[in-house]
Amino acid sequence: MSTQESQPSGRHAIVCGGSMAGLIAGGLLARHFERVTLVERDRIEEGPRQRKGVPQAQHLHGLLTRGMDILCDIYPGFREELKAAGARFLDMSAEHAWHMAGLWRPRLPSGVQFHAQSRPLLEWTVRKRLLALPNVRVVDGREVTGFQVSPDNARVTGVRLRVPGGGQEETLEGELVVDATGRGSRTSQWLEALGYPRVEETRIHVDLGYASRICRPPPGFEPGWGLMSIFPNMPQERRFGAIEQIEGGQWLVLLGGWHGEHPPMDDAGYLEFARSLRQPHLYECLQKAEPLGPISVYRFPHNQRRHFERMRRFPEGLAVVGDAFCSFNPLYGQGITTAALQVEVLGACLREGVEGVAQRYRRRAGKALEVPWLLATSGDLRFPEAEGRRPPGLGLLNWYSERFQRLAGHDEEALRTFVRVLHMLKPPAAMFAPRFILKVLTARPDAAALSRVPECPTSSSTSQAA
Ligand SMILES: Cc1cc2nc3c(=O)[nH]c(=O)nc-3n(C[C@H](O)[C@H](O)[C@H](O)COP(=O)(O)OP(=O)(O)OC[C@H]3O[C@@H](n4cnc5c(N)ncnc54)[C@H](O)[C@@H]3O)c2cc1C
């Protein structure tokens, strides 16, 4: 993506919401507009901090390589800055103790990085870059309450804003309004009130519960992995866990489960939940770790996709990005990368001019969601409780994908391909190359593959394949 625009094509753009999608969009828009104003409901404080508007920030937030690549296009040097701020960059398979489809993955270099850091650190590092842009202004402590529109309602011409909870409304005029207010976005309702058709929405129920805790690893413990994750055999099992090494040498421990299998918030219950995972390693690590704070929980009811691309009529001057457009089961770590993909699409549309950008963008952004949506929801639809239409061939796709994951447990090329698909560097079709189809149908894991266990503090774990 070329982000060096020689001449701004518009005068003023407004971004609503200053979380990851808004911060990425702001950087892009600063290249296309003379001025950008970002409006955020929370008061923004200096440094990496938790805040009310992003309750998910207490939980594990890995950044996929595709997302990092786009961030670096928009903010050159971002990768180095995040690393210098303390983030850990981990090879997705060599430094990841990864149990999936009944096997520990081989610890071979994949060349693909998983970027591990706390969410506040990630957001703050991006925000600093946005704030350094001379044509960007951040208005914090203001909530957007609706759109300003042209007399015929055909064009969004700005927003109304006020101090949260009351106060005098102000207006802000702009040629493009970008909604990055997250999953709770009110764009659908505001459009309907203006006489636009109701936005179709697809939901896939997951009833996911996350419970996270920051811990200090056992003294002197150098396990050779920076990320450990233990996935269940779906759909029979529903519980998962992960430990991510973040800045400051801390562990961010995550336990979770689908459809009511939610981890408890008390110490004993939390540990017991870890013990119930399919492999004992995470439990053994957690047992020896020192908790540094309380257990934070987050409930995620459903995947949610708003089909702005399908609307028969849609106003000019408006673009929706990030969770406001589509919000996924967070377990697959795709949210920020998908927001970045949408911003990339917005950039391509803006290069064709500001006029007509809303229509071009919503259609192409809707299309760009196809792959992330498929990656996130095909697994979730394996649970019988997941309401929602099953696309044709889903059973076959899931069958193949599980076999492919088992193949990736002992076949280097399959592993590297799988990692690239997960990080959105290759399309899922890459897993269907004829040589893989043959291997998937014939391969058996070798004995060596079954003896790769990650280190844990007690070194007593020998439990292996499912
Ligand atoms: C538990 C959990 C774990 C996750 N883990 C990952 C992960 O590992 N990797 C990953 O890539 N993604 C992950 N995600 C998804 C990720 O958090 C989001 O995709 C990402 O934050 C982008 O969201 P957003 O910026 O669109 O919206 P949000 O992050 O929800 O932010 C919306 C912003 O808009 C502001 N706002 C809301 N309404 C208004 C208004 N009316 N006026 C002004 N401002 C307003 C809010 O204060 C907030 O700052 C996870 C999500 C959850 C729930």
Residues 340 and 424 grouped into a single domain: no
> Do 294 and 318 belong together in one domain?
no
Neighbours of 228 (CB within 10 A): 25
Total domains, the chain: 3
Residue for token pair 């997960």:
422
Q: Are residues 44 and 152 in the same domain?
A: yes
pLDDT of 143 reads 97
pLDDT tens figures, 148-187: 999 999 999 999 999 998 889 999 999 999 999 999 999 9
Question: Which of these three, 343, 375, 407, is where a domain ends?
Answer: 375
- Torsion sign over Cα 186, 190, 191, 193: positive
Same domain, 132 and 153: yes
Average pLDDT over residues 427-451: 81
- Determine the pLDDT at residue 5: 59
Pair (209, 272) in one structural domain: yes
Task: Answer whether residue 134 is part of any domain.
Answer: yes
Flag the least confident range among 81-90, 262-271, 320-329, 379-388. 379-388
What are 247's two structure tokens? 């800045």
**Tell me: the pLDDT tens digits for 51-63?**
999 999 999 999 9
111 lies in some domain: no
- Out of 237, 272, 301, a domain closes at 301
Does any domain span residue 1?
A: no
Same domain, residue pair 294 and 220: yes
- Tell me the best of 49, 54, 170, 422 to mutate to test the pocket of ligand 1, counting ligand atoms within 8 Å of each CB and taking the most: 54
Whether residue 409 has pLDDT greater than 90: no
Which pLDDT score, from 0 to 100, does residue 387 have?
80
The confidence score (pLDDT) of residue 457 equals 56
Let me know whether 176 and 195 are in one domain. Answer: yes
Beta bridge partners of 140: 40
Whether 321 has a pLDDT exceeding 80, the answer reads: yes
- In terms of domains, do 413 and 339 share one? no
Per-residue pLDDT for 75 more than 60? yes
C-alpha to C-alpha distance for 83 and 80, rounded to whole angstroms: 5
CATH number of the domain within which 161 lies? 3.50.50.60
Look up the CATH number of the domain holding residue 253: 3.30.9.10
User: For residue 454, what pLDDT is reported?
Assistant: 62
% residues pLDDT > 90 (the chain):
81
pLDDT given for residue 447 in this prediction: 52
Residue type, 301: P
Last residue of a domain, one of 279, 301, 323: 301
Percent of the chain with pLDDT over 70: 94
Q: pLDDT grade, residue 443 (50/70/90)?
A: confident
The dihedral over CA atoms of 242, 342, 389, 200, expressed in degrees to the nearest 10, equals 130
Assess whether pLDDT exceeds 80 at residue 381. yes
Classify burial at 245, counting beta carbons within 10 Å of its beta carbon; exposed 0-12, middle 13-18, buried 19 or more. buried
Q: Based on the domain organization, do 188 and 220 belong to the same domain?
A: no
How confident is the prediction for the chain on average, in pLDDT?
92
Residues 128 and 193 in one domain: yes
Going from the Cα of 401 to the center of ligand 1, the distance in angstroms, rounded, reads 29
pLDDT of residue 453: 61
Tell whether 4 is covered by a domain: no
Looking from the CA of residue 23, the nearest atom of ligand 1 is: 25
Domain annotation covers residue 229: yes
DSSP string, 198-217: PPPEEEEEEEEEEEEEEEEP
Show the beta-strand stretches assigned E in 217-295.
227-230, 239-245, 251-257, 290-291
In which region does residue 137 sit, left (phi positive, over 0), alpha (psi from -120 to 50) or beta (all else)?
A: beta
Same domain for 50 and 145: yes
Q: What are phi and psi of 180, to 5 degrees?
A: -130, 40
Range of the domain at 411: 394-450
Provide the residue count of the chain. Answer: 466
Q: What is the DSSP letter of 316?
A: B
**pLDDT score for 253:** 98
Strands 88-91 and 143-149: unpaired
What does the pLDDT read at residue 35? 98
- 54 Cα: distance to centroid of ligand 1 (angstroms): 6
Per-residue model confidence as pLDDT tens digits over 110-160: 999 999 999 999 999 999 999 999 999 999 999 999 999 999 999 999 999
Mean pLDDT of 409-426: 93
Q: Are residues 269 and 133 in the same domain?
A: no
Residue 449 has φ and ψ, to the nearest 5°, of -60, -30
Ligand 1 contacts CB of residue 330 (under 6 A): yes
If one compares 405 and 162, the residue with the highest pLDDT of the two is 162
Show contacts of 367-373: CB within 8 Å, 24+ apart: 367/309, 368/338, 368/341, 368/342, 369/305, 369/325, 369/326, 369/338, 369/342, 371/424, 371/427, 371/428, 372/326, 372/328, 372/334, 372/337, 372/338, 372/341, 372/424, 373/303, 373/305, 373/326, 373/328
Residue 463, pLDDT above cutoff 50 = no
Q: Which of 235, 207, 226, 209 is nearest to 95 (CA)?
A: 226
Backbone angles phi, psi at 325, to 5 degrees: -90, -50
Q: Can you tell me the distance from the alpha carbon of 97 to that of 221, in angstroms, rounded to the nearest whole number?
A: 15
* 298 CB near ligand 1 (under 6 Å): yes
Residue 145 φ then ψ, to 5°: -115, -5
pLDDT band at 456 (very low <50, low <70, confident <90, very high): low
Residue 9 confidence (pLDDT): 82
Let me know if residue 106 belongs to a domain: no
| 459 within domain boundaries | no
**Residue among 16, 20, 254 whose CB has most ligand 1 atoms within 8 A, to mutate:** 20
Q: Of all protein residues, whose CA lies closest to atom 18 belonging to ligand 1?
A: 335
Of the listed ranges 312-321, 387-396, 420-429, the one predicted with least confidence? 387-396
pLDDT of 448 > 60? The answer is: no
Residue 318 forms part of a structural domain: yes
